Amino acid sequence: MASNLPDYVASAQPVPQANRMPWFKSTAQTYAGIMLWFVFWQSVPASGAPGAAGILAHGLGTALLGVIVAAFICHFASYLAPGLMGMKTGLPLAVVGTSTYGVWGGFLMPGFFMGVLQFGWLAVNAYFSAVLLAGLAEYKEGSPVQLGIGVVWAIAAAFIGLKGIQYVARVATYLPIIPLVILLILAGKTFSGVGNFKPEMLADGAAAAGPSSLDVLLFAIANIVGFFATAGAAGADIASSNRDSKDVQLGGLAGVAGATIFTGCLALLIVAGAYGSGIMAGKAGTLDPTKLMDTIMGPDVTKVFWLLLAIAAFPPACFSSLIAANSMKNTLPQVNPFITVGIGTAASIALVLSGQAGDAAKMFGIIGASFGPICGAMTADYLLAGCQWPGPRAGFNPAGWLSWAVGFVVGAWNGLFAPLLTDLASTYPALAPLEKLNFQMPCPPVAAIIVGFVLYFVLAKAGLTSRQLEMPAAN
């Protein structure tokens, strides 16, 4: 009965059909804006891979393949099922997620949890935007000036996200054009050197030691899928304004897979072209396209580009804050949002000042570990219901929470649990056997999605789901 539903579910209203929009006016441009964020594409050539050549260690072809495979995983395994459920119901993620985690469980995850992770994104945005702005005055990353700018950036974005996002939204639609144009200019300036590129150029002629070809693919996929995880689950919100399944598919293929391939591959081509053209001779050591701009374009143009990229990054920081604020308002309505958002912003500032926000690959991995199992479980839930939204379930749905817990351990194994086992084994001799459990999980964000999907499917088939509740507003 509807009376069994908490207010945030019972009062949810679907997006009316009259307000639905085609994919190219909603889903595609929203996701393209996310994938055009410079923090994403500047991370692609390195992708957290060891060695001087990053994911270019075995040549351009292997790296490009990794980006393409990752782009389609993001579309089909992270975005599609949440997006289709959002479109078919017209309801937001916090409500759609109640079928997977229960009406009280969904209150916490993905509802509250989505808001918490937005402060991680705010920290990453503030840190790297501050790197560019401090660089205009030739202050290096990690300097007090850069960290100070990052703190101010986070506070300003959080305040606007809480109180005045409507003013930023007026220009946010057009600002993604800035990184698009900059990428095309850099690619045009370096394209002539792409054919001459060899991985050893990234180490000034020395053997470019690095991972195997398979590991290169996995590092590329892990970096991109980890970055996209929260945006994939948010497909329920974004695609709720779509008209039909075709809009959801085309919006994802263009805005998720297409934009990821476009930006990720251009970043690789820029790095390969810069080194292949010879302009980086004697300057090896960086895989970041924004740091190569000085050599490619000259210092004056580079400063203009950095300023423009930072400006284009501010609206996404505000939107992250807005999502966080809305999540806090929905889940903690009795608490003043200035308090909850203030606490979250303080956590963002701590990540900036500690430098943790500057480790993009690590941050993407944590986020992928957190939301990868959610995407996998929601996909299983959707398929088990005959490609429909099953409707809300009572309380805490065991299948959802168990699949998330195991999936999170898998996704966070390399960065959190394996080092913890090592520390315990070295600190307490009686726990030395735990060292034998220390291994490297291959492609943790994708492994988390797979575990979330398979475990939810098995547990649901075994009957470990809470009872379904009636929701008259759902179609």
pLDDT in tens, 180-204: 999 999 999 999 999 999 998 997 6
pLDDT score, position 259:
96
What pTM, to 2 d.p., does this model score? 0.91
pLDDT surpasses 80 at 327: no
pLDDT surpasses 50 at 474: no
Average pLDDT for the chain: 90
Higher pLDDT, 407 or 326: 407
Percentage of residues in the chain with pLDDT exceeding 90? 66
Contacts of 377 (CB under 8 A, 6+ apart): 100, 399, 400, 403, 404, 407, 452, 453, 455, 456
pLDDT in tens, 250-287: 999 999 999 999 999 999 999 999 999 999 987 888 99
pLDDT surpasses 70 at 3: no
pLDDT score, position 475:
43
Query: Which domains can be identified in the chain, with CATH numbers?
Result: 23-461 (1.10.4160.10)
At position 75, the amino acid (one-letter code) is: H
pLDDT score, position 209:
54
Task: Pick from 249-263, 336-350, 433-447 the range whose average pLDDT is largest.
Answer: 249-263
Mean pLDDT of 430-448: 87
pLDDT in tens, 199-256: 989 976 555 456 899 999 999 999 999 999 988 998 998 899 999 999 999 999 999 9
pLDDT score, position 204:
63
Mean pLDDT of 47-69: 94
Torsion of CA 365, 107, 453, 224, to 10 degrees: -30
pLDDT score, position 210:
64
pLDDT in tens, 83-120: 999 999 999 888 999 999 999 988 888 878 888 888 99
pLDDT score, position 169:
55
pLDDT score, position 2:
53
> Phi-psi bin for 227: left (phi > 0), alpha (psi -120 to 50), beta?
alpha
pLDDT surpasses 50 at 1: no
CA distance 347 to 456: 32
Q: What angle do CA 456, 457, 463 make, to 5 degrees?
A: 85
pLDDT surpasses 90 at 337: no
Mean pLDDT of 10-34: 89
pLDDT in tens, 133-192: 999 999 999 999 999 999 999 999 998 877 755 555 555 668 889 999 999 999 999 999
